[in-house]
Structure 1
């Protein structure tokens, strides 16, 4: 126990290591199994649920993507089990220390290696009082202080057991929890309203895009201005592409002559790649596409591009602290390029792949991962930048079309839907460059495009400002939530009652109960049959396996070994002798035998 004199709190409170509040901390504050003892390959669609790190948030269980294991596997990992009402804490991630309750619907299950399960085993500590304190700034600072690692921050189980908790009298714990929940309820109502407004703005944004690309936004403008048909614009764009290619070929021939004249000492200049032509959209596909105005035209994305490419695959070796920007999927996940956190590459002069140089007027699109289909428009000049292999670079023939395409690909009904329909792969979605080229695009005159862009951007500017206001409100709500918890666990949220039994006496009762509990545990061990006790002490894993001519179930080896009461020691020995052990999978079970 320790009394922290630097922190002011009520005289009836007491500061104590977390483990001192549990009768049996070694069994009631535990982490998940050693990584290799619970593999993703053992997950199944039904059985005993497994809680993972992505299911845990502060004071909130995220009930998504739950995996399961067999009852036999869960029995083998019983030390790492949970039951409804337990507190689950993250010991890996950024940040560590997020905590929530297991909901009632999950009566029992298993936690993974990166989590800690805390099960309150006495009546002198209110579970909600502990949970709220774990998610308060007071405990967050301790988690941050002891977290190790930068790429994969983590904290040790032993450290978590020794975190200092502010203990209040039991009646005050109840008053604090009641007041926190009253205040949080009001906050939650406000947050719900903000999130509803946020979702409505997203719907409105998509409604605007739909209205624009079905031609209704500029319907009156067309009547007044009689713009040229899209067919004529397409002809000019194709002619521009042909002329550009011919010019590149002329320049290449000059470079080749210079190369020959200088003795062909370096690599021969590469001949320009001829732009690819795609067949027009068939009538069958046109009949399935949304209707558009008479003078608009459905075309292929390829018709507007000089070329499309993705980044080089082996540029990680060029990563540096400065140099050219290296744009990855996370840099464009909001349909805008956010270069601030981009990586840098320092490229040798002769490196291949400079076709992926990003320039003003280009479009970038993510082609792998969860954010596939996100698109950014390079509106202004940009420092030397290249795209990674997970990002496609689209080079329009005429960059005047780029802002129009940028909006088009954000529409869930038009470009966004076209692209998502071409994505393949389940675990890691992928969009090929060929898919991007063949995607249908609705084309209208440049003048009408600019009218659409002007109208949408003015509306989007209003939406953006409203979204910023909402986001600010959500952030203030979270800050207020933390302020409430800070006051609560400094003893400033509710009044103290001098009649309450002080926490120091509460702690003494916990200690007395712990002593009694441990004595009872010792008695129970003495009552075990002597032969069982002798076997559990004497047999190592290797010795257990020698007693059988056939492979044994891993859980049977554990039960017959000297580690039957401590599965962590069992894992440790198993790891130490892994070269002597042969493991064979039988369904979801592991069969162990000695390697020959």
Structure 2
């Protein structure tokens, strides 16, 4: 690893940048110790996987536990300025800083809380580092599980990290703030183009299905009513449909809008001789055989056979008796994701699941590409939610599909509409392809910039201009000596005297307790440990949990916030005394 970064840097592990690895790098409680049934609407916040993204804490859908429960789980607490890292899901190792407005909280089992020593490693530098491929590639080597990828706590504690001098960490973090902000701005602009492309397609379909797209075309062609074309289609439909389906269902009149006089409104049922969905039962899957198509296999107007499930030939033959698929048929997704379409353009055999509807044209004269576009337009604009049932999985009934109102243009004009739409779509597809290619390169920029940063390339000129800030007492090696000293000091601290007392009510106590830095500021003078305990609002007969909370607050203020300092121990009373740090801005 030495050759990968400047000689002024050193290699450390996560355990090297904390005071006490066992308490500063922890994961959340076992599931049985924190159940969803114990969540509350107010109280102490819980950080869950959905709140931790790469570089950012998502302050949405925050759950809480009572202060009493938080005391029970104090080992799994977090403070503002701590770093949270995901150890379950895909991708793994997402890391972010706890925002300042979250004073404290509890992590769940699938998150690691890293409480690094800010005297030797800046938070902003460390967040960027953990989210870079320097760490990502290490994590990938230790992933367990396939359906639910995960890593254990030991992986996080043992991560190898490049550590520059503190001043250089600040420069690196500042440069990354600037560069990655520019990358984000570009990503936002490119995303806007994607949105404009989507709106353009919708506008084209709206113009096509209202006759505006072929307005000039109609002026140069003799008037021809769609009624004659539809009558011929209806006659052909009547010749092949038998039973109660012979009479097509009428369309929904309230779905009509203004179309040219030569157009008519008809139902989807009248243009097809069969609208049916796939099998309603889950078949027995096989390693190979006949493709079994569901919603996920209908993409961008095509059937994607690259990742299908399979069934055997015998079951396919049985399923095809009800739902035989032929070239020229139209597929329409009706469950889960509503409205994906694809015209069958292959003679390859396959079967359908219930989530996909099959539309078979009533006549060879029916332009299924035109019907496809009409359905896409309907999906974009019509209130499909009024007909969709189900909560967990959305579903559109076949009976509701049959009565969909289709604007029916003369067949010659339909062909012209299809030509125009496909021409415009081909143009916009080309733009989208180029935009996506640029977006892909921009998305890769983030990791490229991070890689340069953690090879020392972004700060090479700075190091040459500032040798005093990276050597001697300011060197990375000196930083490690500081953390070793603090560990030794921690070992010298007397163990807490356990006081057995009846537990106080968490909610009522939490309202009286204040942070030790605030208590010192209010006192206006140094306080002994016992005086500070009382000034912070703790009762004189504090129980074990309350004392541990008090000493955690002292430790945080001393080592992380650096808002207070410990004075020389009084020889007479043998107590530790504390005062506000001179640079403290605690209010």
> Structure 1 pair 8/429, CA: closer, same or farther in 2 (3 Å)?
same
In the alignment, which residue of structure 2 is the partner of 1:478?
443
Asked whether the equivalents of residues 339 and 379 of structure 2 are also in contact (C-alpha less than 8 Å), the reply is no
Asked whether the equivalents of residues 297 and 308 of structure 2 are also in contact (C-alpha less than 8 Å), the reply is yes
CA distance in 2, matches of 1:225, 1:352: 49
The partner residue of 1:306 within 273, 291, 300 is 273
Asked whether the equivalents of residues 112 and 153 of structure 2 are also in contact (C-alpha less than 8 Å), the reply is yes
> Structure 1 pair 421/498, CA: closer, same or farther in 2 (3 Å)?
same
> Structure 1 pair 305/492, CA: closer, same or farther in 2 (3 Å)?
same
In the alignment, which residue of structure 2 is the partner of 1:340?
306
In the alignment, which residue of structure 1 is the partner of 2:479?
506
The answer as to 2:291 corresponding to 1:325 is yes
The partner residue of 1:240 within 205, 214, 236 is 236
The answer as to 2:346 corresponding to 1:381 is yes
> Structure 1 pair 396/102, CA: closer, same or farther in 2 (3 Å)?
farther
**1:282, CA displacement in angstroms?**
5.5
Asked whether the equivalents of residues 229 and 410 of structure 2 are also in contact (C-alpha less than 8 Å), the reply is yes
Asked whether the equivalents of residues 415 and 440 of structure 1 are also in contact (C-alpha less than 8 Å), the reply is no
CA distance in 2, matches of 1:78, 1:398: 72
Mind listing any 5+ residue stretches in structure 1 that lack a counterpart?
Answer: 247-272, 533-559, 566-596
**1:205, CA displacement in angstroms?**
1.7
> Structure 1 pair 182/386, CA: closer, same or farther in 2 (3 Å)?
same
**1:416, CA displacement in angstroms?**
5.0
Q: SS at 2:390's partner residue?
A: coil
> Structure 1 pair 342/223, CA: closer, same or farther in 2 (3 Å)?
same
State which drifts further: 327-336 or 438-447: 327-336
In the alignment, which residue of structure 2 is the partner of 1:229?
225
The partner residue of 2:488 within 515, 529, 534 is 515
The partner residue of 1:204 within 200, 205, 208 is 200
> Structure 1 pair 18/403, CA: closer, same or farther in 2 (3 Å)?
same
In the alignment, which residue of structure 1 is the partner of 2:63?
68
In the alignment, which residue of structure 2 is the partner of 1:215?
211
The partner residue of 2:191 within 192, 195, 199 is 195
How many pairs were matched up? 499
> Structure 1 pair 453/311, CA: closer, same or farther in 2 (3 Å)?
same
The answer as to 2:397 corresponding to 1:456 is no
In the alignment, which residue of structure 1 is the partner of 2:433?
468
Q: SS at 1:373's partner residue?
A: coil
Q: SS at 2:161's partner residue?
A: strand
CA distance in 2, matches of 1:168, 1:148: 32
> Structure 1 pair 481/353, CA: closer, same or farther in 2 (3 Å)?
same
State which drifts further: 487-496 or 350-359: 350-359
State which drifts further: 27-36 or 171-180: 27-36
> Structure 1 pair 238/74, CA: closer, same or farther in 2 (3 Å)?
farther
> Structure 1 pair 28/393, CA: closer, same or farther in 2 (3 Å)?
farther
**1:376, CA displacement in angstroms?**
2.4
CA distance in 2, matches of 1:201, 1:340: 27
In the alignment, which residue of structure 1 is the partner of 2:150?
154
> Structure 1 pair 333/136, CA: closer, same or farther in 2 (3 Å)?
same
**1:394, CA displacement in angstroms?**
2.5
In the alignment, which residue of structure 2 is the partner of 1:487?
452
CA distance in 1, matches of 2:99, 2:291: 45
> Structure 1 pair 509/152, CA: closer, same or farther in 2 (3 Å)?
same
The answer as to 2:331 corresponding to 1:364 is yes
**1:418, CA displacement in angstroms?**
4.8
The partner residue of 1:21 within 11, 17, 21 is 17
Q: SS at 2:147's partner residue?
A: coil
State which drifts further: 94-103 or 471-480: 94-103
CA distance in 2, matches of 1:423, 1:197: 31
In the alignment, which residue of structure 1 is the partner of 2:263?
296
CA distance in 2, matches of 1:347, 1:39: 47
CA distance in 1, matches of 2:401, 2:71: 49
What TM-score do the two structures reach when normalised by structure 2?
Answer: 0.76
> Structure 1 pair 440/107, CA: closer, same or farther in 2 (3 Å)?
farther
Q: SS at 1:298's partner residue?
A: strand
> Structure 1 pair 214/96, CA: closer, same or farther in 2 (3 Å)?
same
**1:217, CA displacement in angstroms?**
0.7
What TM-score do the two structures reach when normalised by structure 1?
Answer: 0.75
Asked whether the equivalents of residues 325 and 383 of structure 1 are also in contact (C-alpha less than 8 Å), the reply is no
> Which deviations, in whole Å up to 9, do the C-alpha atoms of 1:471-519 show, x marking residues without a partner?
1111111222211111111222212343213322211211221332354
CA distance in 1, matches of 2:126, 2:403: 57
> Structure 1 pair 307/456, CA: closer, same or farther in 2 (3 Å)?
same
> Structure 1 pair 89/329, CA: closer, same or farther in 2 (3 Å)?
farther
The answer as to 2:405 corresponding to 1:409 is no
Mind listing any 5+ residue stretches in structure 2 that lack a counterpart?
Answer: 503-542, 549-587
> Structure 1 pair 279/368, CA: closer, same or farther in 2 (3 Å)?
closer
Q: SS at 2:488's partner residue?
A: helix
CA distance in 1, matches of 2:237, 2:104: 64
> Which deviations, in whole Å up to 9, do the C-alpha atoms of 1:514-546 show, x marking residues without a partner?
3323543xx343x112689xxxxxxxxxxxxxx
Q: SS at 1:348's partner residue?
A: helix
CA distance in 1, matches of 2:38, 2:362: 51
CA distance in 2, matches of 1:376, 1:38: 47
**1:177, CA displacement in angstroms?**
0.8
Asked whether the equivalents of residues 230 and 443 of structure 1 are also in contact (C-alpha less than 8 Å), the reply is yes
> Which deviations, in whole Å up to 9, do the C-alpha atoms of 1:451-477 show, x marking residues without a partner?
111111111111111111111111111
> Structure 1 pair 314/304, CA: closer, same or farther in 2 (3 Å)?
same
> Structure 1 pair 96/227, CA: closer, same or farther in 2 (3 Å)?
farther
